[in-house]
Amino acid sequence: MYFLLKGGLMQKSIILTEGSITKKLVALAIPIMGTSFIQMAYNMTDMIWIGKIGSNAVAAIGTAGFFTWLAMAFIMISKVGAEVKVAQSIGEHKYKAAKSYATTAIQINLFFAFIYGLLLIIFRKPLLDFFRLGDVNIVNMAEVYLVVMALGMIFYFINPVFTSIFNATGDSKTPFLINTIGLIFNIVFDPLLIFGVGPFPRMEVLGAAIATVMAQVVVSIFFIIALKNRKEEFFKINIFSKPDKDNIISIFKLGLPVGSQSGLFTIFSILLARIISKFGPIPIAVQKVGSQIEAISWMTAGGFSTALCSFIGQNYGAKKYDRVIKGYKATMILATILGIFTTALLIFGGKFIFSLFISEKEVVEYGVTYLRILAYSQLFMCIEITTTGAFNGLGKTAIPSIISIVLTGLRVPAAFILSSENLLGLNGVWWSVSMSSVFKGILMTGIFIIMLRLNKLFGKNLESVSN
């Protein structure tokens, strides 16, 4: 397989400071979106097959999955730091600095992976008890899934950072190809291990966890192969070199706001899940499956955001501010089209899509309502995520993080109030999520445009550029 893939693993980095803006952005964004969908497809594959077992198994994976989701808080610190600093260093033609930042990002993530995985194993019982699931069978399945994922946490942590390093250099095709290999592996082994096909015993939730971890291991192996076959200076990474203190500080300054945002987002989601749990296991399964379906838009918008971050990072480093602004405008047009399309899809196709995951009639009815309510926020969510990429590319990661933390945090009290029997019940939780996304999109984009017009983003007079 290595020889078949060698040509794909030898992609070239793309210089984003020259040439057609839209063409470069689209060329960079499409593989990133593909990679995002692949990451989403890992969970979707698990949900599709586990859904055949029943909603209890889905609830178990959904509950344990909150803690793998929480891991993104730590992953995002070095991921965002690497994306911004590597891209800006390449734009400045400082290739040794780009290599140094990439190395430091990997070292940080390996350290976090070991500590986080160990804590999950030690404290798995109290962590799961927080949700008050009630059903012993669901709790046991969730514990099994969580332990296996914790054992493979190093691979779960390191692959997004590998991906971000390649994206920052303008090469988004290599991560797409490598993650595709992992997805194919997961698609093949998921049903084999879950249902016990051929020589494999029936392992259900355990099988889903093992297949996912094995796929992540395969992805890590191919990333290492890709790095060894690249000739550019910034890919010659030695993780055993002495950690650079200044690099660590720089990466934390950029990544900590985003990591905090990601971690608090997960905590808020856990608190929402606890509110949802009072309505029984079916709404928990609905929220888990529904969020995977809704990921169609936020994963795609995330692709635009990451591409824009790399594009702006390189051009900002090269002081080509006109390309920064034009790149933002072009990406926002694409994000708007995406948001409108997804709204229509969730409203008119929600029942068909949800039925692909779970066939239980009552669950599907709940799911259709969930998707319809969330549909109204899709446009605003897409422009919010895209604008976040613009802020990040400029190295101003704190602004979008603060906005997101505050408005996402308000979901919890809003859901608590609106979900009372005298108001909207369970639908109150869904409306709290949807409306917060609307407000985030309006505020985030408004602030970016105002700062741009006031020339606050670049620290110099750019009226001739921004007009």
**Residue partners of 38: CB distance under 8 A and separation at least 6:** 176, 179, 180, 182, 183
* CA dist., res. 143 & res. 121, Å (int): 9
pLDDT for position 447:
93
pLDDT tens sequence across 198-257: 888 888 889 988 999 999 999 999 999 988 888 777 677 878 888 889 999 999 988 888
Among 287-301, 386-400, 448-462, the range of highest mean pLDDT? 386-400
Confidence of residue 32 (pLDDT cuts 50, 70, 90): confident
Q: How far apart are CA 337 and CA 220, in angstroms?
A: 34
Top mean pLDDT of 78-87, 176-185, 228-237 is at 176-185
Mean pLDDT to the nearest integer, 54-83: 83
How far does CA 35 lie from the centroid of its chain?
Answer: 10
* Mean pLDDT, residues 29-57: 76
Range 440-449 average pLDDT? 93
Position 100 in a domain: yes
Residue with tokens 């994963």: 299
Give residue 459's pLDDT.
57
Q: What is the pLDDT of residues 401-439, one digit of tens each?
A: 999 999 999 999 999 999 887 788 888 999 999 999 999
pLDDT of residue 466: 37
Q: Does the pLDDT value for residue 7 go beyond 60?
A: no
Where residue 11 falls among pLDDT bands split at 50, 70, 90?
Answer: low
Query: Does pLDDT of 465 surpass 50?
Result: no
Task: Give residue 120's domain range.
Answer: 20-458
* pLDDT given at position 4: 41
Asked, for residue 2, whether it belongs to a domain, the answer is no
Does some domain include residue 249?
A: yes
In a domain, 183, yes or no: yes
Instruction: Give residue 456's pLDDT.
Output: 66
Which pLDDT does position 84 carry in this prediction? 85
Q: In the predicted model, is pLDDT for residue 463 greater than 60?
A: no
Q: Categorize the per-residue pLDDT at 3 as very low, low, confident or very high, splitting at 50, 70 and 90.
A: very low
Residue 167 lies in a domain: yes
pLDDT in tens, 313-343: 888 888 888 888 899 999 999 899 999 999 9
Angle at 79 between CA 75 and CA 83, to 5 degrees: 175
pLDDT surpasses 90 at 380: yes
- Specify the number of domains making up the chain: 1
Is the pLDDT at 1 greater than 60? The verdict is no
Lowest-confidence segment of 132-146, 173-187, 280-294 by average pLDDT: 280-294
Predicted confidence at residue 113, as pLDDT, reads: 94
Report the distance separating Cα 159 and Cα 219, nearest Å: 7
Which pair of tokens denotes residue 430? Answer: 């869904």
Judge whether residue 162 has pLDDT over 60: yes
What's residue 382's pLDDT? 93
Q: Is residue 147's pLDDT more than 80?
A: yes
Percentage above 90 pLDDT, the chain: 28
Residue 409 near residue 418, CB atoms below 8 Å: no
Q: Give the mean pLDDT of 84-94.
A: 84
Identify the pLDDT of residue 152: 92
Least trusted range by pLDDT, from 13-22, 113-122, 270-279, 306-315: 13-22
Residue 5: inside a domain: no
pLDDT in tens, 272-311: 888 887 887 778 778 777 777 877 787 888 888 988 988 8
pLDDT at 140 over 60: yes
Segment 139-168 shows an average pLDDT of 90
0.85 surpassed by pTM: no
Mean of the per-residue pLDDT values of the chain: 84
Alpha-carbon distances of 53 from 61, 194, 365, rounded to whole Å? 12, 9, 19
- Taking CB atoms within 8 Å and a gap of at least 24, the contacts of 19-28 are 21/311, 21/323, 21/326, 21/327, 21/330, 22/330, 24/311, 25/307, 25/308, 25/311, 25/327, 25/330, 25/331, 26/334, 28/167, 28/170, 28/172, 28/307, 28/310, 28/311
- Would you state the pLDDT for residue 14? 63
Residue 206 maps to a domain: yes
Domain-embedded: residue 393? yes
361 vs 97, higher pLDDT: 97
